Chain A
Amino acid sequence: MKAMKKSALAVMALVLVLVMAACGSGNNGANNAADNGTSNGGENKPSGKKVTIEYWHTYSDAEEKALVEKIKPAFEAAYPNIELKLTRMPYEGLKQQVIAGVAGDAAPDLMRMDIVWVPEFAAQNALMDVSKLEGFEELKASVFEAPMATNFYNGGYYGVPVNTNTKIAIYNKATLEEAGLTEAPKTMDELVAAARTLKEKGKYGIGVSGIHAWGLGPWFWSLGGSITNEDYTKVDGYLNSEASVKALQTIVDWNNEGLVLPVMLGGEPGTWDGIISGDYLMSDDGPWFYSTKIAEKEQTGFDPMEQTVRALMPAGEGGSRSVIGGEDLVMFANSKHPEEAWTFAKWMLTEEPQKMMAETGLIPSNKAAADAMKTMDIPFVDTFVEQLETALPRTPIPQWGEVEGIFNLAFEKAIRGEQEPKAALDEAVKQIEAILN
């Protein structure tokens, strides 16, 4: 009996210790939050006023190098009172990280976020409206309009465009010659003709890379299709318009004829494999194809500058259209240092830092930097910058995540022959309208 009591006491004590430890570190946490002067390494600088802002990003290896070696020192030299803490996030499960951060009041101050997420998080009140902040109008005037528009939600701007990108048509040079062409097709009709020639040789010519807005967009729009009206409020009469049905029908017909890359429906080889091996005549992809493949040139023996041809998307009834990608710099609503974060955002969008990142192939959203980029020695960006002029954004609405699910499903059903294009699009419109209203 006594032994039992003793042990009971011991356990209680253990619990107590655990709880106290928890509370103790809780206090530490609070202290740390209070004086952000302490840097990561734990050295206590007496300067007191120094503020640390945290920046989440998903830059690639090469881009991160520029960020750490150029951007951070340059910014901290210009603003000695602000320390920039960079955290590179893995792409897998990223959205979950942001959600947990927001829900637990532990989001960073700033994040470089995919443009399609911005309205979605803005609608959750997770982001700060920057349009009222000092210096916003000047900033807005200095950047391109289309990337800026991706931050617009409900009368405000919930971020600023940090870089932009789009996809262009990338051809395998040897396969292009095999198709009897000396230069890239200018129109959809020329491309289809080339694809038919190649079909006899067991190769694929039409490079739709996947059944999602990012993969289908350039093709659907170039063929004359549309998703919504201009202010993104109505899909009925647009997504199921005659022109849209016809555009989808064309893609369906191509696929039935065996002209489209198998990768569209999740098959193999992958887009890059196919372009490199020459089994695929072409596909549309972003600048990272070039930056990655140039970096691997030594190892793989594939020189993308020599062995591929870059061109604008072939024009159809809707012209030569591509899709706008890129990232926005957003500030979270519960940022502890909104002023300093905004200082960084403004600085990051000025010409010099934009040029630093441009060297890695990221296309600046700052007009002056984009101009300067033309004279910089970056071998592949010219076509991307040109394509940007006619590229379209994926519908910037908070419900986009869900809308895209419906969009993808309708297209997949039509392409797999489960539904007629008209019926599939009508059904999608009905479902999307239900979400929008």
Chain B
Amino acid sequence: MSTSMLTPETKQVPVSSKNKFKLGLRQWMAVLPFVAIGFIGIAVFVIYPMIRNIMISFQDYSIMPNAANPWVGFDNYTKVFQDPNDRFLIALRNTFLNVLATVPVNWFLAIFFAVLINAKFVKFKIAFRTIYYLPIVTSWIIIALLFKYLFADGDGGFINYILHAKLGILSEPISWRSNYWSAMVMIWLFHIWKTVGWGVVIYLAALQGIPKDMYEAADIDGANAYQKFWRITIPLLKPITLFIVINLINGAFGFFPQVYFITAGGPMNQTHVIPSLIYIEAFQNLKFGPAAAMGVMMGLLVFVLTYTQMKKIGKQKMF
């Protein structure tokens, strides 16, 4: 991997430790025209709100403009853990469960469907890709309404109607959203159904980039489809797989519409995730301090967990 992408101008400057600072400055001046607007935008609309978020987590925050918002140290943090119903810990557990349950399935289905659709003999590739992509382009809120309708209780819901009334797989219709595990499964299915198409489309695009001669060589060696998949496709797609998996993990950490619009955290606050809990605390209970504290803690946790990976991600070529 080429580490230096020096511009023609800076290349000519001899690098000595004395001039290091000057060189750095010069490099910044060279790149600034391209990144300045982006950096300003990020600073104002992403970094600054995040800093405010951190500040609020140490304040007794009132929504009124010009309110005093006194500093309260770690009060908001202790409040989060003093919750007698342990909602934060439950939400944390669910967040990890969501990652574990959806990322592998999502990833596997994405590469599985993409490889099959990409098979040489398959016709109407574009039609398939469009259909697989439909859920992605539909709004979360609408799909949530639709899923609640499909997963409705009794035989009035389509899923129960098929599984119970028609096929008899279930001995009685499930009350999907009233029980913890069935609600979690419904949330996962909702998420996977909605997002698999994204991975399929990215993989399909990447698969077209694999040189055909590699497969032809494998054919000559007498490899079967299964071997070709594991020995050629998977290793060649490694960088793009990394990109997809990171995004899938990020998506699974960030569950919000999946929970908020399906169960709103119920039954008994058991299905909350951190973002939905933050939303409820802030915008239902007007407790911005504890809500911000939860956000900060989740951020720190993710940071610690991914820090070691970050180096790789930062430098890894994605395509």
Q: Do any beta carbons of A and B sit within 8 angstroms of each other in the complex?
A: yes
Partner of B63, one of A99, A269, A402, A405: A99
B221 proximity list for chain A (CB < 8 A): none
CB pair A409–B9 under 8 Å, yes or no, is no
A402 proximity list for chain B (CB < 8 A): 285, 287
Per the 8 Å Cβ criterion, residues 254-307 of B in contact with A are 266-269, 282-287
A405 proximity list for chain B (CB < 8 A): 269, 284-285
B33 proximity list for chain A (CB < 8 A): 4, 7-8, 10-12
Interface 9-residue window, one of B113-121, B151-159, B162-170, B205-213: B151-159
Query: How would residues 127 to 157 of chain A score, 1 for a CB under 8 Å from any chain B CB and 0 otherwise?
Result: 0000000000000000000000000000000
Query: Which residue on chain B has the smallest CB distance to residue A435?
Result: B285
A4 proximity list for chain B (CB < 8 A): 9, 30, 33
CB pair B63–A126 under 8 Å, yes or no, is yes
Per the 8 Å Cβ criterion, residues 259-285 of A in contact with B are 262, 265-269, 273
Min Cβ gap A177→B in Å is 24
Interface size counted on chain B using CB atoms at 8 A: 35
CB pair B37–A15 under 8 Å, yes or no, is yes
B152 proximity list for chain A (CB < 8 A): 268
Query: How would residues 20 to 46 of chain B score, 1 for a CB under 8 Å from any chain A CB and 0 otherwise?
Result: 000000000110111011001000000
CB pair B64–A268 under 8 Å, yes or no, is no
Report the bound CA distance from A99 to B153 in whole Å.
35
Query: Which label, helix, strand, loop or mixed, suits the secondary structure of the B interface?
Result: loop
CB pair B178–A409 under 8 Å, yes or no, is no
B65 proximity list for chain A (CB < 8 A): 102-105, 334
B14 proximity list for chain A (CB < 8 A): none
B269 proximity list for chain A (CB < 8 A): 405, 409
Report the bound CA distance from A92 to B37 in whole Å.
34
B177 proximity list for chain A (CB < 8 A): 266
Report the bound CA distance from A104 to B65 in whole Å.
7
Q: A402-B285, A416-B267 are in contact. Are A267 and B153 (CB under 8 A)?
A: yes
Query: Which residue on chain B has the smallest CB distance to residue A277?
Result: B156
Q: A105-B65, A124-B64, A412-B268 are in contact. Are A269 and B175 (CB under 8 A)?
A: no
A93 proximity list for chain B (CB < 8 A): 283
Query: Which residue on chain B has the smallest CB distance to residue A19?
Result: B40
For residue B62, CB closer than 8 A to chain A, the reply is yes
Query: How would residues 116 to 155 of chain B score, 1 for a CB under 8 Å from any chain A CB and 0 otherwise?
Result: 0000000000000000000000000100000000001110
For residue B85, CB closer than 8 A to chain A, the reply is yes
A267 proximity list for chain B (CB < 8 A): 153-154, 175, 178
Pair count A-B, CB < 8 A? 93
Query: Which label, helix, strand, loop or mixed, suits the secondary structure of the A interface?
Result: helix
Q: A95-B284, A104-B65 are in contact. Are A268 and B153 (CB under 8 A)?
A: yes
CB pair B63–A265 under 8 Å, yes or no, is no
For residue A236, CB closer than 8 A to chain B, the reply is no
B222 proximity list for chain A (CB < 8 A): none
CB pair A99–B156 under 8 Å, yes or no, is no
CB pair A11–B64 under 8 Å, yes or no, is no
Q: A105-B65, A125-B62 are in contact. Are A401 and B178 (CB under 8 A)?
A: no
For residue B84, CB closer than 8 A to chain A, the reply is yes
A18 proximity list for chain B (CB < 8 A): 37
Query: Which residue on chain A has the smallest CB distance to residue B67?
Result: A125
Query: How would residues 101 to 132 of chain A score, 1 for a CB under 8 Å from any chain B CB and 0 otherwise?
Result: 01111000000000000001000111000000
B29 proximity list for chain A (CB < 8 A): 8
B67 proximity list for chain A (CB < 8 A): 125
B156 proximity list for chain A (CB < 8 A): 268-269, 273
Query: Which residue on chain A has the smallest CB distance to residue B63?
Result: A103
CB pair A8–B32 under 8 Å, yes or no, is yes
Query: Which residue on chain A has the smallest CB distance to residue B160?
Result: A268
For residue A427, CB closer than 8 A to chain B, the reply is yes
Partner of B153, one of A7, A104, A124, A262: A262
Min Cβ gap A437→B in Å is 15
B285 proximity list for chain A (CB < 8 A): 401-402, 405
Report the bound CA distance from A333 to B66 in whole Å.
13
Report the bound CA distance from A25 to B298 in whole Å.
38
Min Cβ gap B187→A in Å is 14
CB pair A266–B267 under 8 Å, yes or no, is yes
CB pair A102–B84 under 8 Å, yes or no, is no
B157 proximity list for chain A (CB < 8 A): 268
CB pair A11–B36 under 8 Å, yes or no, is yes
Query: Which residue on chain A has the smallest CB distance to residue B183?
Result: A266
Query: Which residue on chain A has the smallest CB distance to residue B82?
Result: A434
Query: How would residues 77 to 115 of chain A score, 1 for a CB under 8 Å from any chain B CB and 0 otherwise?
Result: 000000000000000110110010011110000000000
For residue A431, CB closer than 8 A to chain B, the reply is yes
CB pair A266–B266 under 8 Å, yes or no, is yes
CB pair B283–A265 under 8 Å, yes or no, is no
A126 proximity list for chain B (CB < 8 A): 63-64
Min Cβ gap B117→A in Å is 37
Could you give 9 example pairs across A and B, Cβ below 8 Å? A10-B33, A11-B34, A18-B37, A96-B283, A99-B286, A125-B62, A267-B153, A402-B287, A413-B268
Which 5 pairs, one residue from A and one from B, show the smallest C-beta to C-beta distance? A268-B153, A267-B153, A8-B33, A96-B283, A11-B33
Q: A7-B33, A269-B156 are in contact. List 17 more A-B contacts (CB 8 A).
A: A11-B36, A11-B37, A12-B33, A99-B63, A99-B282, A103-B63, A120-B286, A124-B62, A124-B286, A266-B267, A267-B153, A268-B153, A268-B154, A269-B154, A405-B285, A409-B85, A427-B84
